[in-house]
Structure 1
């Protein structure tokens, strides 16, 4: 998954970045609302983590504009305010969830997973595609009783495909979903990860088809 973290506290931002990156997510970090707007102008995100008090404005104004623009990207607000009225306020503005600082990183990860499941219309981490059982939390595929453990980027790539079966994803779009702006990679890296997934899926009803000149799509046979 690709996250946008909008947080101006360097210590907290680095800790969140480290934790989410270790879990295999791609995270772009903005420490101002202006920088966040620049990121969003050129890329798309699965989830936004939004601080309230920022050097150049109030995160609630950002959230209000975000929803007014009909952008459905889920938002979790990171807030130091514990008053019920403050929490209700951000939810009424369109936040999908909030977490009060200081927070435990395992709770933050769990809240991210819950919001993303709701966004995808599922209530659990398990998904069945043909004869393949995918557990996004455990990072595994199960095929004919055999459990295959995916590496981080294999997992994130399969999440993209499994989230939209039959949809064609270009190589450039997949690079955008799997790598941050700080990472210099070529589209050939996508071919490597697609090849790995294909080997894992060999013999199953799930295939990653190549659409020549367009990209890849997950299809059931």
Structure 2
């Protein structure tokens, strides 16, 4: 895939390195001369330009990108980049970084954002996950489908211990996508047993999260 990243700061460069390891074609767009460091990631294509300018995106060949990642430290810039990528160049997938959680409500389809990634929210979710065993924790919002990635760790006294995945009576707008057990990542199959301490990852719409919680606690 060809992936454009707006913002070549520490976050943008880290993303670029990961994507290059996956054999993707990466373009880094940076407007600051100080952060424009092609030698730091020679495997990527670099462009010194303002990603908020339509002419710059045209020159970058944005229309040929499969994914655009707005990763600058300015939420206003990330919103403008997302909107231009989606509306002017019909980029299939737009991912935007949210720097201030108070701005998260803006990062929706209306601004061209398919997936909004809020670092403060994710860090808070990790803390909640560590201390609130048995509680449903929202890890990420997937804007395009108005769904969330949520996690719950089964407590030691879980009523689901020994039950099988097929026994989970989940609502129609929810799906169990992975089980984390120790150092293993398990793709759930119908006959897989559940154990105390399992971390269950679900993709679900917001309005069924309470139903998932009820299932986990044996109330449904």
Q: Structure 2-normalised TM-score? A: 0.39
Higher relative contact order (CA 8 A, sep 6+): 1
Larger radius of gyration: 2
